A = this chain, B = another copy of it.
Amino acid sequence: MTLIVQKFGGTSMADVDTIGIVADIVAATRRDHDVVVVVSAMSGQTNYLVDLARSLQSVPDLREMDVLLSTGEQVSMALLAMALKARGVDAQSFTGGQVKVSTDQVHGKARITSIGDTAIRNVLAQGKVAVVAGFQGVDQDGNITTLGRGGSDTSAVALAAVLHAQECQIYTDVDGVYTTDPRIEPNARRLAKITFEEMLEMASLGAKVLQIRSVEFAGKYKVPLRVLSTFKQGPGTLITLEDQQMEQALISGIAFNRDEAKITIMGVPDRPGVAFSILGKVADNNVEVDIIIQNTGVDGLTDFTFTVHRNDFRQTMDLLQPVVKELQARELNGDDRIVKVSLVGVGMRSHAGIAATMFKTLSDEGINVEMISTSEIKISVVVNEKYLELAVRALHRQFDLDQEPPD
């Protein structure tokens, strides 16, 4: 019998009603497969515990925080095991420690170093469903660790890899990955399939269906991932390796990100070390930079532009005032009313002219492109935020994303 790993997040484990729905899904899957279920804490539980902790210690101890937060998944796994047994499906729960999910010692954002499979295989061999606490592990000294944000997805993928599962199914409150956000483009279409690389670009660009780390992990270990909804039946979206046999659509989707701001230093002396003196200062203050563009200089001067998270915008502008003086640059400009819009698709690799079509489409709508950045499978542009909806819809139509790609 083939094995499926299913992961249910906090909204799926919200209360006894939704846990009942989860149990029904697992029970149905169990008819044809061995099943390992990975669960998150009940939604709200983590915030409740964090609030308790903060009211006792302003900056809670990281080790004890992991001890505290790991109880959330432990509650979930016990409740789901009970709900399964109530449906006549035998089940047994496992903490991270009981599975032997070994991690490094970085409390709050530990990395998995190894996963035992013996305990789970024994339980599967007895015909039981294994219900595993996501998000948690133990370090070499037996201390409880947590994997940080999105950790349950990572737990599920890692278990699927170790157990050679046929598929790792991530249940959320959306029924798949869409060509773009349906709230902006009502014709957005659920993708039946998308590659790991495309998914990484979609996720990092703001389509927050899956945590980047778990997609990277799945890609690395070639674990087919499927995103489905707990609350709406359907096949979801399969995230998998690129299929050479298949005619690939040019473009898989349009991602966008409203969380960025743009900073430009104009009239910078075009000499070695300038980029470092600007970005070094920014990095020293733990501000992450996304797109970076430097034009070829004219008359020994150049313009240097980059984007940061909007929350870091003010701080970064302040940081750079003295740098601009030191460099004797002409001017420091900033704009936090911009968005990034990106076309994503592995099909781009073998087709020229996508960028040209993109720019023409935007130009026809009167949208000025302020920055451009490209990679092998995506083209991103920065535009004024007022154009976001217009740009997404125009591109969605232009590249026929509402149509199923030809087989």
A-side residues, CB < 8 A to B, are 16, 19-20, 23, 49, 52-53, 55-58, 60-61, 63-65, 67-68, 70-71, 74-75, 77-79, 81-83, 85-86, 92-93, 95, 97-98, 142, 144
Contact = CB atoms under 8 A, between A and B. Distances in A.
Contacts of A56: 16, 19-20, 23, 79, 82-83, 86
Contacts of A67: 74, 77-78, 81, 93, 95
A57 B87 CA distance: 9
Contacts of A57: 82-83, 85-86
B82 A60 contact: yes
Contacts of A71: 71, 74-75
Nearest to A142: B98
Given A20-B56, A56-B20, A142-B98, A78 B68 contact: yes
Nearest to A74: B71
A183 B74 CA distance: 42
Contact of A79 (B19, B68, B74): B68
A85 B61 contact: yes
A22 to B, nearest CB: 11
A61 B82 contact: yes
Nearest to A42: B52
**Chain A interface mostly:** helix
Contacts of A61: 81-82, 85
Nearest to A75: B71
B68 A53 contact: no
The 8 A-B pairs of least Cβ separation, nearest first, read: A68-B78, A71-B71, A57-B82, A67-B78, A57-B86, A64-B78, A56-B83, A64-B81
6 contacts: A16-B56, A52-B75, A52-B79, A53-B78, A56-B83, A71-B75
A51 B65 CA distance: 26
A64 B49 contact: no
Contacts of A78: 53, 64-65, 67-68
A97 B19 CA distance: 28
Contact of A16 (B55, B75, B79): B55
Nearest to A81: B64
Nearest to A143: B98
Contacts of A74: 67-68, 70-71, 74
A58 B95 CA distance: 24
A91 to B, nearest CB: 8
A336 to B, nearest CB: 37
Nearest to A72: B71
A49 B75 contact: yes
Contacts of A68: 74-75, 78-79, 82
A123 B19 CA distance: 39
A93 B64 contact: yes
A133 B65 CA distance: 15
Contacts of A77: 67
Given A56-B16, A75-B71, A82 B64 contact: yes
A68 B60 CA distance: 24
A398 to B, nearest CB: 50
Q: Which of A20, A64, A83, A85 gathers most chain B CB within 10 Å? A: A64
Given A92-B63, A93-B64, A98-B142, A58 B75 contact: no
A246 to B, nearest CB: 43
Contacts of A70: 74
Nearest to A20: B56
Contacts of A20: 56
Nearest to A131: B64
A85 to B, nearest CB: 5
Contact of A86 (B16, B58, B65): B58
Q: Which of A60, A79, A98 gathers most chain B CB within 10 Å? A: A79
